Structure 1
Amino acid sequence: MSSKLIRLIGKSAPAALVAALFATAALPVAAQEIELKLSHFLPAGHGMHRDWFVPWGEELAKRTNGKVKLTVFPAGSAFGNPARQLEQATSGVVDIAHGLRGVPAGRFNRMGIIEFPFLVETANAASRTLWEMYPKHFAGEFPDTVKVLGLHAHNAGLIHTGAKQVKTMDDLKGLRIRSPSPQINAMLQQLGATPVGLPPGEVYENLQRGVIDGAVFPWDPINSFRLFEVTKFHLDARSYTASFYFVMNKRKYDSLPADVKKAIDDTTGAALTERFGDWWNQWDAPGLEAASKKGNAMSSLSAEERVRWRDALKPTTEKLLTDLEGQGVKDARAIFAEMQQRIAKYEGAKK
C-alpha cells in the first residue's frame, strides 16, 4: 500500500477501518484451487471409478498440498457418452478422459492390433505391451491436442449368453453377439456369430428385449452393468481383449504449475501401467461372484476346442493384417510380431 494512499485513508477513514485495511494488505494471497474435470463412460460403481479415478484425484490433491481438485463425471452424467470421450478432451470440454479404443470404430488402428484373436490373455501383459510400444508405434495416432497419460487392456474376456449355452464353435452359429471393435467383429463372424456394435451401457436392455443373444466382456461389466441378471451362461473363451486410452487436454496440461505437472507425470504413464494387472483381477472378481450367486452356468473351452478355434481364426488374423496394410499401416505385421514377443515375455510362450 503506497504512503500517499495511506495518508488519504488516514484523513478520511475511521481508525478501525484503517487497521482492517492494513491487516488485509498483510495477508498472503491464497493459492488458487485448480479444478480438473475427468470424464469416463462407466458407472460410478465400477472399479475404475472407485479404485482408480477417485483415489487418483485424492493423490493429486495430496501431492500438491490441496491445490488440485479432480471432479469425475461417470456414465449417466453430461459427459458420460463413450463415443465422445476423445473429442471432449481435445476440445477442452473436459480436461481428462478415459475411453474405449473401438468406440467409435476406425480409430487407433495400430493400437487395436492388441485386440487380435488369441493374442493376449492378461491385462498385465496387454497393458505393459501397449505402453512400451506407444512412443514408437502409437503416438502418431493421437491428436497433438492431447497428452496421453496411459493405455491399457482388460483380461481376456468371455462370451456371455442368455437363452443358449455356448461350449463349441458350432454353438455360436447364428447368435447375435455384442462386440466392442472391428477386430472382435471379425473373430465372431469367422466363428459363425453375427456381431452387433453396442456401447456397454446399452447391452442390458438389448439382452432383455432379445435384440441380441449375448455379449463379449470380461467379468467386471457383468457386475457393474448388472448383466448377470440377463445372462445365464458364461464361456471362458480367453480369445480376445479390448483396449482403452487415458488422455489429457494438452493446452490444459501446459498451463499447469510445475508441481501439478509433476504430480500428474509421477502417477501416470509407466507407474500407472504397473497397476492394471492387479486392478483388473480385482475388478473381475465381483462379476464372477454375482453370476455364481445367481446360479448361472460356467464353462471353459476344452483343450481340443481351443485348438479348433485358434486354427479357425488364423485366416481372420491374416485378413486383419492385410486390411491394415491396405489402409496405410505398412508395418502392421511388424507391430503384431513385436506384440507377440512382448506378450510372451510376460505370459510365457503360447501353447
Structure 2
Amino acid sequence: MTFLKSAALAAVLGMTATAGFAQDVTLRFQHFVSPNSANPKYFIEPWAKKVEAESNGRIKIEIYPFMQLGGKAPAQYDLIRDGAIDGGWVIPGYQPGRFAEAEALELPFMVTKSAEEASKAAWVFTQKYLADDFADVHLIAAHMHGRGLVHKIGPAVETVEDFDGLKLRGPSRAATLLLDKLGATPVGMPVPAFPEALSKGVVDGGVITWEMSPSLKLDELTDSHTDVAGDMSLYNLYFIWAMNKSVYEGLPDDLRAIIDANSGFETSAWAGRAHDTGDADGKALMAASGNEIAEISEEETAKIKALGEEVVQDWIAEMNARGLDGAQLVLDAQAAVAETRGTVSTN
C-alpha cells in the first residue's frame, strides 16, 4: 500500500501519522450535562474506558460534556446522524413528535422506579418498535433514568390541588401533558436551561431526577423534593447512546466487534444502574442540605394516576390518528416492563 493510500485510510479511521498507528481510531462523543452527573460518571466514562481497554488502546474515545463540540442538546441526534460528532447521548423526546413510538415508555406510571429495570424494558421495547426510527444511526444502548420527582421553590406539593398554577419545567411531551392535567403550567425545556429558569423565576420548579439535583444545584435553587407513593415512577425519560452509522460501519471488523460487545441489553442495564447510583447520591445530598424530602400520600397518588391514565388515553387516540396502533404500543411497553421487573442486579 502506498504512503498516500495509507494516509487516506488513516484519515478515514481518525488516525494520525505521528501516532505511529498504535491508536487506530479516535472517536469523539458528546453529551449535554456535567461530567459529574450520574450517567457520565457511572456509565459514559467507564464505558469509554472499557472499550479502550478491550481494544488494547486501538480505540480512543474522547468525551465532551456540555455540548462542547457544538450544537444544542435537542439537535444531538442529527449531529450524530450527519457526522458532526462520532457519537453521543440523545434524548429523543427533545424533538416532540419525531420519535412518537418511544413516548410509550415515557407515559405516566409506565415504568418502575428502578432505572435498571426500566432500561432493560427500554431495550426490549426498542428492539421491537424503534429500530426503524433510529435506522440512520448506530444504536449502542437505550435506557431510562430513575424516578421522576417534583422539585420546587417553597413547600412540597401534597395534593393534586397544590399543582394548580405552578409553572413547572418538563423534559418531554408526556411529562408536560401530565403537568397540564394536574393543573400546573408546563414549561418544556432541556435540562441545561433549568437552573437559570429557576434562578430568574421563570419557573416555580420542575420534574427531574434525584441524580441530576446536585449538578443543577437544586439544593440551593429549590426547597422541596417530592415523590409519589408506590413503586412506579411519576414519569420517565427515554435516552439512546449512539454513534454515527458510517463511522461504525467503517471500523475494522475486530474493532467493530468490540463496540458490539459493549452494546445491547446489558449495556442498557448498565446505563440504568448509573442512574440508580446517582439517585442515591443525589437524594443523600438533598437531605443533607436540609431541604424537605416528601412523598405524596397513596390516596393523592391514586388521583394523580387517574389523571395519568387520561394522558395515556389521549396519547393512544393521538397515535391512532397518526396511523399507529396506540393501544398496542402501550400494551407492548407494559409487557416489556413486566418482563424485566424484579431483575435488578445484586452485584
TM-score for both structures, normalised by structure 2: 0.87
Count the aligned residue pairs: 318
State the SS of the aligned residue for 2:28. Answer: strand
Aligned ranges 1:1-351 → 2 under 5 Å: 30-75=21-66, 77-79=68-70, 81-121=72-112, 122-142=114-134, 144-237=135-228, 238-329=233-324, 331-347=325-341
Letter in 2 for 1:131: W
Moved more, 320-329 or 185-194: 320-329
Cα offsets for 1:228-284 (capped at 9, x unmatched): 210101111231111111111111011101111111000111220232343221011
Letter in 1 for 2:187: V
Q: Provide the residue aligned with 2:15 in structure 1.
A: none
Distance 1:95 1:186 in 2: 34
The alpha-carbon deviation at position 286 of structure 1 amounts to 2.1
The alpha-carbon deviation at position 52 of structure 1 amounts to 1.7
Equivalent residues of 2:116, 2:276 under 8 A apart: no
Cα offsets for 1:39-72 (capped at 9, x unmatched): 1111111122222222222212211111111011
Distance 2:42 2:319 in 1: 36
Q: Provide the residue aligned with 1:26 in structure 2.
A: none
The alpha-carbon deviation at position 30 of structure 1 amounts to 4.1
Distance 1:45 1:31 in 2: 30
Distance 1:76 1:335 in 2: 32
Q: Provide the residue aligned with 2:9 in structure 1.
A: none
Letter in 2 for 1:107: R
Equivalent residues of 1:149, 1:248 under 8 A apart: yes
Moved more, 274-283 or 250-259: 274-283
Larger radius of gyration: 1
Distance 1:86 1:154 in 2: 18
Equivalent residues of 1:41, 1:75 under 8 A apart: yes
Letter in 1 for 2:28: K
Equivalent residues of 1:42, 1:80 under 8 A apart: no
Distance 1:313 1:31 in 2: 55
The alpha-carbon deviation at position 111 of structure 1 amounts to 1.1
Distance 1:30 1:205 in 2: 45
Equivalent residues of 1:150, 1:247 under 8 A apart: yes
Distance 1:193 1:113 in 2: 22
The alpha-carbon deviation at position 78 of structure 1 amounts to 3.1
Distance 2:271 2:40 in 1: 14
Moved more, 203-212 or 103-112: 103-112
Equivalent residues of 2:224, 2:292 under 8 A apart: yes
TM-score for both structures, normalised by structure 1: 0.86
Distance 1:202 1:44 in 2: 17
Greater relative contact order: 1 or 2 (C-alpha under 8 angstroms, separation 6 or more)?
Answer: 2
Distance 1:341 1:106 in 2: 23
Unaligned stretches of 5+ residues in structure 2: 1-19, 343-347
State the SS of the aligned residue for 2:214. Answer: helix
Letter in 1 for 2:299: E
Moved more, 320-329 or 257-266: 320-329
Letter in 2 for 1:198: M
State the SS of the aligned residue for 1:224. Answer: coil
Cα offsets for 1:176-211 (capped at 9, x unmatched): 000011111111111111110111111111111111
Equivalent residues of 2:83, 2:244 under 8 A apart: yes
Unaligned stretches of 5+ residues in structure 1: 1-28
Equivalent residues of 1:89, 1:97 under 8 A apart: yes
Closer, same or farther in 2 for the Cα pair 1:133/1:314, shift >3 Å?
closer
Distance 1:167 1:186 in 2: 20
| Runs of 4+ residues deviating >3 angstroms | 29-32, 345-348
The alpha-carbon deviation at position 325 of structure 1 amounts to 1.4
CA RMSD of aligned residues (A): 1.6
